Chain A
Amino acid sequence: MSVDLSQFHQVFFEESHEGLDVMESALLGIDLANIDSESINTIFRAAHSIKGGSGTFGFNEIAEFTHVVETLLDLIRSDQFKMETEQVELFLKSVDCIRTMINQLEQEQAVDTQQAGELNLQT
């Protein structure tokens, strides 16, 4: 059985934009002195969904980059890494970066991975 996955792309783009908006507002609302674990979970879930969808629909550049973001979020979520201003800024830049890549896909352009490569998200 052959299923044309391109019929689901538009829904994926739309939910990814919603997820990125959720990540962005949660990041902007974070109180570093008193981090709410539900905010981190919300950010993690949005990144996780984008990674899962992009992998499924063959958008590997986004899947790979979002995987790195998700891994760092998971470490923060499990208290193995501390969230500081630097990380918040890095995650906000990552959101912009993923948004740009999604926009490029929507406009059927080649995905530019340079911006993603320049963000040092390794722990």
Chain B
Amino acid sequence: MATILAVDDSASMRQMVSFTLKGAGFDVIEAADGQDALDKAKQSSVDLVLSDVNMPVMDGIELVKNLRALPNYKFTPILMLTTESAGDKKSEGKNAGATGWLVKPFNPDQLLATIKKVMG
């Protein structure tokens, strides 16, 4: 069973993502910001990270940089959840090591389709 780390400071988004992923058979660990996610990633084995960009404490870009510096997370797929308006953030995230993007707003089917594509 693959484990997905879902990171978003919005509780409703976290719940929606988590509910959708669990319904599709994934194990889900939720985190409310980048630092929370980094701590949880270190404590567990995560197969895919799904992260918002704009968050307090540590944003999604910093999270990607920090995860890529960890030996266990060098090649783990990391998908960023972002809005279309955030063009420069996309290249920043890509440079930091993000695998791909899912543009907000997305629906549960789009979320699962993207994850299945990334996980092969």
Contact = CB atoms under 8 A, between A and B. Distances in A.
Q: Do A and B come from one complex?
A: yes
Main secondary structure of the interface of A (DSSP, over half): helix
B16 A5 contact: yes
Interface string B48-77: 000010111000000000000000000000
Contact of B109 (A1, A15, A52, A56): A1
A11 interface: yes
A44 B89 CA distance: 15
A39 interface: no
Please classify how large the interface on chain B is, using the bins under 10, 10 to 19, 20 to 34, 35 or more: 20 to 34
Contacts of A3: 16, 19-20, 23, 107-108
B13 A45 contact: no
Interface residues of A, number: 27
Contact of B105 (A9, A15, A44, A63): A63
Interface of B: 9-13, 15-16, 19-20, 23-24, 52, 54-56, 83, 85, 104-109, 112
Interface of A: 1-3, 5, 7-9, 11-12, 14-15, 42, 44-45, 48-49, 51-53, 55-57, 63, 67, 70-71, 74
